[in-house]
């Protein structure tokens, strides 16, 4: 992540958007279940330093060095034996892949109903209006 006055995170709940289980699983994979639960319910947006501390990002770099840092990281991975690396990564993420690959039609319907609910529309309008004033 670039250093500076940036933020990263998921603020869906305070905005009125339901967080599906698959998103929770992804978030908790990286920052742990307790952190993911608190952060999602509060809509916590992390500074680069906070994101690094909780494990949401691997590194903080100067914005001008983002591409170099990404290339350095991928070259490190590419230097490893491909099959071992791929299979290990799949094993580590097996439960996550299962959760995110499952049929989410029912959850999507619930989310869409909430997305179009007057309360959510009102919250989103307020946010957009406030952003336009800045």
> Which tokens sit at 110?
């619930």
Q: Report the candidate in 103, 5, 93, 111 with the shortest Cα–Cα distance to residue 49.
A: 5
Q: Report the candidate in 69, 85, 87 with the shortest Cα–Cα distance to residue 77.
A: 85
- Indicate whether 76 pLDDT > 90: yes
Q: Report the candidate in 77, 74, 101 with the shortest Cα–Cα distance to residue 88.
A: 77
d(CA 53, CA 31): 9
- Least confident range of 13-22, 80-89, 125-134: 125-134
pTM of the model: 0.84
Looking at residue 119, what is its pLDDT?
94
Q: Report the candidate in 33, 37, 32, 31 with the shortest Cα–Cα distance to residue 8.
A: 31
> Which tokens sit at 53?
């501390």
């Amino acid at each position: 992540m670039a250093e500076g006055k940036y933020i990263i995170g998921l603020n869906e709940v305070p905005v009125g958007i339901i967080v599906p289980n698959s998103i929770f699983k992804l978030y908790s994979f990286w920052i742990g279940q307790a952190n993911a639960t608190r952060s999602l319910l509060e809509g916590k947006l992390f500074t680069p330093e906070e994101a690094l501390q909780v494990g949401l990002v691997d590194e903080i770099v100067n914005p001008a060095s983002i591409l170099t840092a990404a290339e350095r990281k991928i070259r490190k991975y590419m230097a490893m034996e491909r099959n071992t690396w791929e299979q290990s990564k799949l094993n580590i993420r097996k439960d996550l892949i299962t959760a995110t690959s499952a049929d989410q039609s029912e959850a999507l319907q619930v989310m869409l109903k909430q997305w179009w609910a007057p309360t959510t529309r009102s919250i989103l309008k307020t946010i957009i209006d406030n952003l336009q004033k800045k």
